[in-house]
Amino acid sequence: MKVEVIELPYAQDALAPAMSEKTFSFHYEKHHKGYMKKLEAALEAGEADKPLEEVVKAASGGKFNNAAQVYNHNFFWTSMKPGGGGDPSGDLKDAIDRDFGSVDKFREAWKASGAGQFGSGWVWLVNDGGKLAVTSTSNAETPITGSAKPLLTMDVWEHAYYLDHQNARGTYIDVWLEKLINWDFAAANLAG
């Protein structure tokens, strides 16, 4: 992944009504691109040509915050798709059943992690040493700075849901799981 805001894999209104075009546009155009603008100003000569993951892992302070937020948001947009939701299949379903007990138990863990994240942050499905786990990170933190490989993420910063759901983070999480989650992206990350 290059040091850039990804080109969206769908139109900004494609997730509606699960995520309104207004929420999506504000989030992508203002927040995500705002992090990129700040990152561009902080990059040193040659850094823009490095993989984004490498920049995140080497950065600290404000450069880390902006690089990680660009990475996390790039991952977030591809963790969703129009007509998402449903259940995983194949190797991903088998791994979820093995490590969580069932897809329903996975959903319970995801909801608890998202609802329990104090303040701003992210919920992640990760592959950590061959075992799937749900984890959360605060602010700009990201699993790629450790040993876990991210498979999916959901943004739980208020700007991800406030225009559509006000302060009802739980409703946003339910809608995200029922209508937006991109199991195909998670399966590709597990296989890759």
pLDDT tens per residue across span 31-43: 888 889 999 889 8
- For the ranges 10-14, 117-121, 126-130, 188-192, which has the lowest average pLDDT? 117-121
pLDDT > 90? residue 151: yes
Predicted confidence band of residue 1 (pLDDT cuts 50, 70, 90): low
Topology of 21-78 in CATH? Helix Hairpins (1.10.287)
Phi, psi (deg, nearest 5) at residue 26: -60, -45
Per-position DSSP letters for 40-101, written without gaps between them: HHHPPTTGGGSBHHHHHHH--HHHHHHHHHHHHHHHHHHTB-TT--S---HHHHHHHHHHHS
| CA atoms of 60 and 66, how far apart (whole Å) | 10
pLDDT > 80? residue 5: yes
Predicted confidence band of residue 165 (pLDDT cuts 50, 70, 90): low
Write down the pTM of the prediction.
0.92
What is residue 3's predicted lDDT score, i.e. its pLDDT?
81
Which residue in the block uniquely carries the two structure tokens 């509606």?
A: 16
Please state the domain extents for the chain: 21-78, 90-191
What is residue 48's predicted lDDT score, i.e. its pLDDT?
80
| Average pLDDT rounded to a whole number, residues 130-153 | 96
More confident residue, 120 or 152: 152
CATH no. for 90-191: 3.55.40.20
Extract the tokens encoding 41: 């100003």
More confident residue, 172 or 134: 134
| Average pLDDT rounded to a whole number, residues 107-122 | 91
Per-residue model confidence as pLDDT tens digits over 10-62: 999 999 999 989 988 888 888 888 889 999 889 888 788 889 999 999 999 99
Share the mean pLDDT of the chain.
91
Max mean pLDDT range (1-15, 39-53, 172-186): 172-186
